[in-house]
Structure 1
């Protein structure tokens, strides 16, 4: 009864066709805005630091860092374009941005998420070739080839998500029951296709390649142990043990974060249901998905020592000095 008394029309001028929503308490709304805005700012700041670092310093203009740059750009756009809209959608009870923004918000969000996943797959392939085939790596993975692959990743993401959501783009209000709703429903067939191409396929590739990388890293660590043991008995064992732990920790972290942020979103497709943002759990599930854009720079960039040195250059404003792009930060 209290909920009905606190309900207000989304569009008072259309009382017979307007949605009715229950307003959040002011203190709760302020707290949620502060929390989600902090996540948004952190996402933008972290990815912006990665973009500035890789773009500015000449030593970082490598094929691997081109992939990290593409990943950071997609995650930055998630922070700039998607998270603010999702914040308003989650906290406010009515959708007041119109049908066009309703359609575009999902197209942009899904496209950037797919691009981010595609970049993660390319990064895993790059690391696989670099560690398992180090001699062939300079010839197989060139900067021009990587740039072509990155462009294809972005183009395919736009095309793929455009096809998945074409009906929603053509008629954004097709599932709305009243004014003030922004509903998108992905049917079981489209959801299954999306499950395979955006989750199961990439996840399988990442896991398989990182397992191969882990096995190769352990093999190389043991070979190094044999070398060091021959020179100084006892010290080689510690080096090999540290290498194995580091490889296992990185592998586990990459897979764990990816699964934790993506599994909840794809749960309806896994259980044979349609995916809809009308579900009560949608806000939590979608924010977990977008949180991956905040965690990516931590996983893929903070593990690199050059990133910490680049941050020092940026924060201390040494980056504006002449010839700072030539600085040795590796």
Structure 2
């Protein structure tokens, strides 16, 4: 009974099989939950603006923006679903049951995996645009990009089914506490070392390798083009002003999306590397905050680097988007 006074249980009437409530100091928990809640709201609002802008304005229906739209949808779902559930899971006992626990872990796999797939598509798009510009109009078409985006969501959805099958096995154990030294009131999964390493390779190491290799090639081409443009800028500006403007536009897009990819790596790397390092609950929670913070940063990057996004936000906020001919607004 002394233990009962010192420790709070999820199910006080079932002390032998009840989990303890999460033990994070209330000041730290309040601060982290407040920060995570603010990030969640900002993520939902900013990514919703991206979704509305790219979907509504006809001039923004380019192959690159379609991929950005897909990325914004996955980031929007992070803010709308994953962040609130993460706050609940880490600060309260899990009273939503076995099915919702399985659904949560499925979404926690599926949505970030899809974001990784979108980042790969962005890298491929920029690689073709910068390194093979003559083939870009024929190879990167709107139809092909839409098909690739759909396949990205489908393939990662199927891959996540493997995770959910494994997770279902693990979660089922949570509801048999007497047999497996587990308890009621938790929604957590313990992956084996082999499974964790395999997932790390398939969902992080390989995608990051592809992204880094593509952007290294893009960087080399950008450096060479920049030198060429500096040495012939006056002649090119006089003889081919349109071509020069197009090149500058492509280089700017590559740099912008390069910042987006770098931000993704900085936010995701610590979380994946933590698989091999034991950490306390506060450190893990901070890494989760950093992991999901990437979904909030992406639309901020658009705001800083894309004038069309700033213009679209102004039109949306001032409700000019409700005008009948707003779809045809010149955004570029």
Alignment TM-score, normalising by the size of structure 2: 0.85
Query: Residues 309, 206 of structure 1: CA spacing in aligned structure 2 closer, same or farther, 3 A cutoff?
Result: same
Q: Conserved in 2, the CA contact under 8 Å of 1:46 and 1:294?
A: yes
Higher relative contact order (CA 8 A, sep 6+): 2
| Residue-by-residue CA offset, 1:256-275 (whole Å, 9 max, x unaligned) | 42232222222254x4x8x9
Deviates more, 1:187-196 or 1:17-26: 17-26
User: Which residue in the other structure is 2:228 paired with?
Assistant: 223
1:14-93 matches, within 5 Å, as 14-21=14-21, 29-92=29-92
Compare 57-66 and 27-36 and name the one that shifted more.
Answer: 27-36
SS at match of 1:198: helix
What per-residue deviation string (whole Å, max 9, x for no partner) do you get for residues 125-162 of structure 1? Answer: 00111111111101000111111111111111111122
SS in 1 for 2:98: helix
Specify which structure has the higher proportion of helix: 2
**Partner Cα separation in structure 2 for residue 327 and residue 250 of structure 1:** 24
User: Relative to 1, partners in 2 of residues 1:3 and 1:128: Cα closer, same or farther, differing over 3 Å?
Assistant: farther
Is the 8 Å Cα contact of residues 256 and 305 (structure 2) preserved in structure 1? no
| Contact kept? 2:9, 2:20, Cα under 8 Å | yes
- Using the TM superposition, give the Cα deviation of residue 52 of structure 1 relative to its aligned residue in structure 2, in angstroms: 0.3
1:259 aligns with 2:265: yes
Residue 62 of structure 1 and its aligned partner are, at CA, apart by 1.0
CA contact (8 A) 2:67 2:145 kept: yes
User: Is the aligned partner of 1:181 residue 2:186?
Assistant: yes
Deviations 1:16-50 (A, max 9, x none): 21112366666655444332211100110111010
Distance 1:187 1:248 in 2: 39
Q: Which residue of the other structure, out of 305, 308, 320, is the alignment partner of 2:307?
A: 305
Query: Is 1:284 the equivalent of 2:286?
Result: yes
8 Å contact from structure 2 (residues 260, 298) kept in 1: no
Q: Distance in 1 between matches of 2:326 and 2:217?
A: 38
- Range with bigger deviation, 52-61 or 175-184: 175-184
Higher deviation after alignment, 295-304 or 248-257: 248-257
Of the structure 1 ranges 317-326 and 12-21, higher mean CA displacement relative to structure 2 is found in 12-21
Q: Which residue of 2 aligns with 1:190?
A: 195
8 Å CA contact 2:105, 2:167 repeated in 1: no
Q: Any residues of structure 2 matched to 1:235-254 within 5 Å, and which?
A: 250=256, 253-254=259-260
Count of matched residue pairs = 315
Task: Say yes or no: does 1:149 pair with 2:148.
Answer: yes
- Residue 201 of structure 1 is matched in structure 2 by 206
Q: Contact between 1:59 and 1:328, CA under 8 Å: does it hold in 2?
A: yes
TM-score for both structures, normalised by structure 1: 0.85
Moved more, 193-202 or 168-177: 168-177
CA offset at residue 191 of structure 1? 1.5
1:294 equivalent in structure 2: 296
Q: Gaps spanning 5+ residues in structure 2: where?
A: 238-247
Gaps of 5+ in 1: 233-241
2:29 and 2:284 map into 1 onto residues whose CA distance is 18
In the superposition, relative to structure 1, how do residues 202 and 25 fare at CA in structure 2: closer, same or farther (>3 Å)?
A: closer
State how far apart, in whole Å, the 2-side matches of 1:252 and 1:66 are.
17
- Of 21-30 and 150-159, the range deviating more from structure 2: 21-30
Corresponding residue SS for 1:183: coil
